[in-house]
Chain A
Amino acid sequence: MEILDKLTILADAAKYDVSCSSSGSSRKNKEGGIGNAAISGICHSWSDDGRCISLLKILLTNYCIYNCAYCVNRSSNDLPRAAFTPDEVAQLTINFYRRNYIEGLFLSSAIMKDPNHTMELLLTTVKLLRNEHRFNGYIHVKAIPGADSRLIYETGKYVDRMSVNIELPSSGGLKLLAPQKKKEEIIKPMSLITRQMKQHKEEKKIFKSSPSFVPAGQSTQLIVGATADHDYQILKLSEGLYNRFQLKRVYYSAYVPIGIHPQLPTLASPPTLREHRLYQADWLLRFYGFQATELLDEVQPNFDTLLDPKCDWALRNMHLFPIEINKAEIEMLLRIPGIGVQSARRIVAARRMAPISYDGLKKIGVVMKRARYFITCQGKYYGEVGLQERLIRQCLISKPILVQNKPEEKQLSLFDVYQLKESIITGEL
Chain B
Amino acid sequence: MIIFVYDNSFEGLLTAIYEAYYTDIKPRAIVSDEYYEPNLIDNRIYIESDITKSNKVYEAIKKKISQDALRHVYHVFLSELKEAPTVIYKYLLIAFRMGYQVDFLLTNQHVLNMHKISKKVSREKHRMLGLTRFQLIKEDFYYAPIEPDYHIIGLLAPHFANRMADQHWMIHDVKRGAAAVYDKKEWFLTEVDMKLQASVGAEEELYQELWKTYFKSISISERRNPKLQKNFMPTRYWKFLTEKKQS
Whole-angstrom distance between the alpha carbons of A38 and B224 in the complex?
29
B107 near A98: Cβ-Cβ < 8 Å? no
Give A291 Cβ to nearest chain B Cβ, in Å: 31
The verdict on A380 contacting chain B, using a C-beta distance below 8 Å, is no
Task: Count contacts on A: residues with CB < 8 A to the other chain.
Answer: 66
The verdict on B136 contacting chain A, using a C-beta distance below 8 Å, is yes
Which residues of B sit under 8 angstroms from A100, Cβ to Cβ? 130, 132-134, 144, 160, 164
Q: Contacting B163 at CB < 8 Å: which of A29, A99, A254?
A: A29
A50 near B217: Cβ-Cβ < 8 Å? no
A99 near B207: Cβ-Cβ < 8 Å? yes
The verdict on B241 contacting chain A, using a C-beta distance below 8 Å, is yes
Give B179 Cβ to nearest chain A Cβ, in Å: 16
Give A278 Cβ to nearest chain B Cβ, in Å: 16
The verdict on B96 contacting chain A, using a C-beta distance below 8 Å, is no
The verdict on A269 contacting chain B, using a C-beta distance below 8 Å, is yes
Which residues of B sit under 8 angstroms from A52, Cβ to Cβ? 232
Q: Contacting A45 at CB < 8 Å: which of B130, B164, B209, B228?
A: B130
Which residues of A sit under 8 angstroms from B144, Cβ to Cβ? 100
The verdict on B36 contacting chain A, using a C-beta distance below 8 Å, is no
Which residues of A sit under 8 angstroms from B135, Cβ to Cβ? 99
A364 near B214: Cβ-Cβ < 8 Å? no
Give B246 Cβ to nearest chain A Cβ, in Å: 16
Which residues of A sit under 8 angstroms from B223, Cβ to Cβ? 49-51, 254, 256, 270, 272, 411
**In chain A between 260 and 317, which residues have their CB closer than 8 angstroms to a CB of chain B?**
269-270, 272
Give B113 Cβ to nearest chain A Cβ, in Å: 11
A42 near B106: Cβ-Cβ < 8 Å? no
The verdict on B83 contacting chain A, using a C-beta distance below 8 Å, is no
A47 near B219: Cβ-Cβ < 8 Å? yes
Which residues of A sit under 8 angstroms from B211, Cβ to Cβ? 96, 99, 101
Segment at the B interface, from A60-68, A114-122, A144-152, A352-360: A352-360
Question: Which B residue's beta carbon lies closest to that of A92?
Answer: B210
Give B123 Cβ to nearest chain A Cβ, in Å: 7
B167 near A98: Cβ-Cβ < 8 Å? yes
Whole-angstrom distance between the alpha carbons of A257 and B220 in the complex?
12
Which residues of B sit under 8 angstroms from A184, Cβ to Cβ? none
The verdict on A249 contacting chain B, using a C-beta distance below 8 Å, is no
Given A4-B210, A45-B130, A353-B101: A363 in contact with B219 (beta carbons within 8 A): no
Whole-angstrom distance between the alpha carbons of A269 and B220 in the complex?
12
Residues of B within 8 A of A (CB): 101, 104-107, 112, 122-123, 126, 129-136, 142, 144, 159-160, 162-167, 207, 209-211, 213-229, 231-233, 241-243
Residues of A within 8 A of B (CB): 3-4, 7-8, 11-12, 14-16, 29, 32-36, 38, 40, 42-54, 56-57, 92, 95-96, 98-101, 103, 134, 137, 254, 256-257, 269-270, 272, 346, 349-350, 352-354, 356-357, 359-360, 363-364, 410-411, 413, 416, 420-421
